[in-house]
Amino acid sequence: MSGSALPRVAIVTNETPGSEVAAERLRAVLGTVSIDDADYVIALGGDGLMLQTLHRVMPHGTPVYGMNFGSVGFMMNDYAEADIVQRLQSAQRTKIYPLSMEVLDASGKRRIALALNEVSLFRSTHQAAKIQIAVDNEIRLDELICDGILLSTPAGSTAYNLSAHGPILPIEAPLLALTPISPFRPRRWRGAILSNRAEVRFVLHEAEKRPVSAVADNIEIQNVREVTVREDRSHGVTLLFDPGKSLEERVLSEQFKF
Q: Could you count the other beta carbons within 10 Å of the beta carbon of residue 187?
A: 10
Q: Round to whole Å and give the CA distance between 35 and 37.
A: 5
Instruction: Using DSSP, state whether 131 is helix, strand or coil.
Output: strand
Q: Round to whole Å and give the CA distance between 92 and 246.
A: 7
Q: Round to whole Å and give the CA distance between 17 and 52.
A: 19
159 annotated to bind ligand: yes
Q: Round to whole Å and give the CA distance between 10 and 33.
A: 5
Q: Is residue 222 part of a domain?
A: yes
Q: Is residue 205 part of a domain?
A: yes
Burial class of 28 by CB neighbour count within 10 A (0 to 12, 13 to 18, 19+): exposed
Which CATH number goes with the domain that contains 137? 2.60.200.30
152 annotated to bind ligand: no
Both 242 and 156 in one domain: the answer is: no
Q: Is residue 3 part of a domain?
A: no
* Cβ–Cβ < 8 Å for 26, 58: no
In the predicted model, is pLDDT for residue 237 greater than 60? yes
pLDDT digits 0-9 by tens, 177-230:
999 999 999 988 999 999 999 999 999 999 999 999 999 998 999 999 999 999
Instruction: Using DSSP, state whether 24 is helix, strand or coil.
Output: helix
In the predicted model, is pLDDT for residue 106 greater than 50? yes
Q: Is residue 1 part of a domain?
A: no
* Cβ–Cβ < 8 Å for 96, 153: yes
Catalytic residue (one of 47, 78, 142, 232): 47
- Positive or negative torsion for Cα 53, 64, 160, 180: positive
Q: How confident is the model at residue 70 (pLDDT cuts 50, 70, 90)?
A: confident
State which H helix or E strand residue 140 sits in: strand 138-146
Range of the domain at 219: 99-231
Look over the chain and give the mean of its residue pLDDT values, rounded to a whole number.
93
Both 92 and 137 in one domain: the answer is: no
Q: Which of 31-45, 171-185, 201-215, 242-256 is least confident?
A: 242-256
Average pLDDT of span 92-110: 96
Q: Is residue 50 part of a domain?
A: yes
Residue 15's Cβ-side half-sphere holds a number of Cα atoms within 13 Å equal to 1
> Which residues, in sequence order, are CB contacts of 187 under 8 Å at separation 6+?
none
Residue 134 falls in which region: left (phi positive, over 0), alpha (psi -120 to 50) or beta? beta
Q: Is residue 118 part of a domain?
A: yes
Q: How confident is the model at residue 4 (pLDDT cuts 50, 70, 90)?
A: low
105 annotated to bind ligand: no
Both 37 and 88 in one domain: the answer is: yes
47 annotated to bind ligand: yes
155 annotated to bind ligand: yes
47 is catalytic: yes
